[in-house]
Structure 1
Amino acid sequence: MDPAEFGGQQHPSPEDTTPRFAFLGRSNVGKSSLLNALMNQSLAVTSKQPGRTQKVHYYGWVASENTHDCMERVHAYFVDLPGYGYAVGPDEAVEEWQRRTQQFLLRAPLTRLFLLQDARVGPQAFDQTVQGWLEEAEIAFTIVLTKSDGARRMADIIKHVNQICMRYHHRQQIDDTLSQSPFVYVTSAKHGAGLDELWSAIESELSF
Structure 2
Amino acid sequence: MAFEIARETSTFRYGMSNPEQLEQWLKDNPSAIGLSFVGRSNVGKSSTINTLFGNKIAKVSKTPGRTREINIFSFKLKNDGKIVEDLPEFYFYDLPGYGHAEVSKEMSKNWEILMTTFFQNISLHTLMVNIQDARHPNQKSDQEFHQFLKGFNFETFLLFNKIDKLKKQKERAALNKLKPVLSKEFKWVRQIYFTSAEKKDGIAQVEEAIISYLLRQRELLESM
Q: Shorter chain as normaliser: what TM range?
A: 0.7 to 0.9
Partner of 1:127: 142
**CA deviation after TM superposition for structure 1 residue 40, in Å:** 1.9
Partner of 2:198: 190
1:68 and 1:127, CA in 2 relative to 1: closer, same or farther beyond 3 A? Answer: closer
**CA deviation after TM superposition for structure 1 residue 112, in Å:** 0.7
Partner of 2:188: 179
1:106 and 1:195, CA in 2 relative to 1: closer, same or farther beyond 3 A? Answer: same
**CA deviation after TM superposition for structure 1 residue 75, in Å:** 2.9
Cα RMSD between the aligned structures? 2.9
**CA deviation after TM superposition for structure 1 residue 158, in Å:** 3.7
Q: Does 1:167 align with 2:186?
A: no
- Aligned equivalents of 1:179 and 1:188: distance in 2? 23
Partner of 2:32: 18
Q: Secondary structure at the residue paired with 1:120?
A: coil
1:180 and 1:4, CA in 2 relative to 1: closer, same or farther beyond 3 A? Answer: closer
| 1:135-146 equivalence runs, <5 A | 135-146=150-161
Amino acid at match of 2:135: R
Q: Secondary structure at the residue paired with 1:46?
A: coil
**CA deviation after TM superposition for structure 1 residue 68, in Å:** 11
| 1:5-154 equivalence runs, <5 A | 5-12=7-14, 13=25, 15-16=28-29, 17-62=31-76, 75-86=89-100, 88-110=102-124, 111-154=126-169
**Would you say the 8 A contact 2:74–2:91 is kept in 1?**
yes
- Aligned equivalents of 1:148 and 1:41: distance in 2? 23
Q: Secondary structure at the residue paired with 1:51?
A: coil
The TM-score with structure 2 as length reference comes to 0.77
Specify every segment of 5 or more residues in structure 1 that has no aligned partner in the other structure, as ranges: 173-177
1:117 and 1:63, CA in 2 relative to 1: closer, same or farther beyond 3 A? Answer: closer
**Would you say the 8 A contact 1:54–1:82 is kept in 2?**
yes
**CA deviation after TM superposition for structure 1 residue 143, in Å:** 0.8
Structure 1 consecutive aligned stretches of length 4 or more whose deviation exceeds 6 Å = none
Per-residue Cα deviation, 1:66-124 (whole angstroms, up to 9, x for no partner): x999x797531111001111154422113312331132112201421011110112211
**Would you say the 8 A contact 2:66–2:103 is kept in 1?**
no
Partner of 1:157: 172
**Larger mean Cα displacement after TM superposition, 13-22 or 128-137:** 13-22
Q: Secondary structure at the residue paired with 1:206?
A: helix
Partner of 2:22: none
- Greater relative contact order (CA < 8 Å, ≥ 6 in sequence): 2
- Aligned equivalents of 2:103 and 2:10: distance in 1? 28
- Aligned equivalents of 2:123 and 2:64: distance in 1? 27
- Aligned equivalents of 2:169 and 2:208: distance in 1? 23
- Aligned equivalents of 2:134 and 2:82: distance in 1? 45
How many residues end up aligned between the 2 structures?
A: 200
Specify every segment of 5 or more residues in structure 2 that has no aligned partner in the other structure, as ranges: 15-24, 219-224
